[in-house]
Amino acid sequence: MVMTLLTRPKKTVATVVIATDGSGDYNTDGTDDDVQIQAAIDSLPATGGCIYMKEGTYTITTAITITTNNVSIIGCGRSTIVTTNDDITIFDINGAIGVLIQKIYIYGAGVGTPTNFGMYFRGGSTFHIVNECWVENCGSVVAALFVSSNNSIITNCYVVGNVDAGIRVLANNYRIISNHVEGGGDNGIEIEGNNGIISNNTLEDNDGGIVIRGNGILIMNNVIRDDNSGGIILSAPEGDENNDCIVDGNYVSDSVQHGIRLIFTDNSVVSNNTCEGNDSGNTQTYSGIQLESSDNNVIQGNRCRENDNYEIDISNSGCANNLVEGNHCIGVDHEGTINDVGTNTQIFNNVES
């Protein structure tokens, strides 16, 4: 007999199978489906295991909680829908290590549900991966995907139409790679933590783009368009400056405010980025690249075009010992190309027109 997914799902695909059509180890009926899903997770041994969720819509009224290490929740892509109408966290990972959530479509409860997280990885848990998930319409006033656990990876996810931030990380040693974040009511990606990589993401029409506070962060090859504040912002309080960050190869266009902005950020590199058409409201207030109270940075090899205030703006005397070199600054509809009111700024070999 030839074995198939339908004839032997438990042994060929997963430790435990959940289904809406009666073919699983645990079967749901569209009402309080969290009961069966939670029972399946709780049935796994202490060493962990895999939950395979077949295609179908799973409607929950209570959070699905994962406290066991090494648990994988794997669906069938956008055809595996986990949804709620209630103000709850959908997947709540609390104290576990090594959780994988993959190929699940999460649809939240929307406006008026301020604790409706799509996924919440709490502190004390670590080494998690979220891959190829869709997260939409979550009402949380913090984030649709909220990570406060170290050593986590979020990759290839589609995060759209959520009430607040798309992805928010308060942790260290993270990787946010190749996600699409769109139409959020706050920043697309917001980070407070050290030693991370944010690369190859696309952000469109969020209230803000990528907002960073931390040290040793690489922000590379992202595309940010049409956000309602700034494209990429590295900001820290005075006395606790960001350090040793690299902003390289990003494309930032048509932001309402600055394309790239450094505030109390030192010893960092902004290179090979394209910033064009920022200050989209033509207020002559916001620039392509702006530094404020930031020291010892390298601004090199960027292409800044038609940003409405300055293409590059060293904006106050609190900026010291910055290098502005080899940038291409052009435009007709702007206040000017390079503005420098900093201290000991070194400006070399830029093209200005």
What digits encode the pLDDT tens for the residues 56-93? 999 999 999 999 999 999 999 999 999 999 999 999 99
- The secondary structure of 275-303 as a DSSP string is EES-STT--S---SEEEES-BS-EEES-E
pLDDT number for residue 5: 45
**CA pair distance 179, 120, nearest whole angstrom:** 17
Share of the chain above pLDDT 90, in %: 94
* Res 6 pLDDT > 90: no
Identity of residue 46: A
Question: Of 10 and 24, which is predicted with more confidence?
Answer: 24
- Spell out a b/e string for 297-325, using b for 16 or more CB atoms within 10 Å of the CB, else e: bbbbbbbbbbbbbbbbbbbeebbbebebe
The pLDDT-based confidence of 15 (bands split at 50, 70, 90) is confident
* Res 99 pLDDT > 90: yes
Share of the chain above pLDDT 70, in %: 96
* Res 9 pLDDT > 60: no
**CA pair distance 212, 232, nearest whole angstrom:** 8
- Whether the Cβ atoms of residue 36 and residue 27 lie closer than 8 Å to each other: yes
* Res 10 pLDDT > 80: no
Domains and CATH numbers, the chain: 13-185 (2.160.20.10), 186-353 (2.160.20.10)
* Res 119 pLDDT > 60: yes
**CA pair distance 297, 259, nearest whole angstrom:** 17
pLDDT number for residue 60: 98
The pLDDT-based confidence of 125 (bands split at 50, 70, 90) is confident
Q: Is the pTM of this model over 0.85?
A: yes
